[in-house]
Amino acid sequence: MMKNKVKIIEDKKAFIISITIFIVLSISIKNYYWFYPPPPIYSITSKEAIERLEDSENGFVKIATDENYDWYLSVDFNIMEYYVYHPLMLKGWAYKGMSDTTKGYERFHSKDGVTLKLEVYNWVKGYQFLKIYHGVDF
């Protein structure tokens, strides 16, 4: 008789532990932002960056202005090409080259003797952060 009570109690404990683990995993999967590394800009969290990108209609969004730089987030290189690089060239900024960095790459454009440096940081899932001087029109 005592063994049956112990077995029932152990079964209840296992059931409660299983339900608890399931709930914790469900919450973790729902809030998948926890799994993203921090973005290269410190004034925004990865969750905020992803939410702003998801709210954008075109996969490209300005996420912050920090220390005379504007920060943008793009879903991939092609979107960055369409919304930044091509319009810059149409406005007279000539492409001068590119250099790789440990976290992405830098692109250089020039116009009227002024050199513009665009810093691109590769993130997760092909997402790219763009750091560009504040006020550059593209």
Over its length of 138 residues, how does the chain's per-residue pLDDT go in tens digits? 555 655 665 677 778 888 888 887 776 665 555 678 889 998 899 889 999 999 999 999 999 999 899 999 999 999 999 999 999 999 999 999 999 999 999 999 999 999 999 999 999 888 999 999 998 988
* Contact (CB, 8 A) for 126 and 73: no
Residues 6+ apart with CB under 8 A from 99: 105, 106, 108
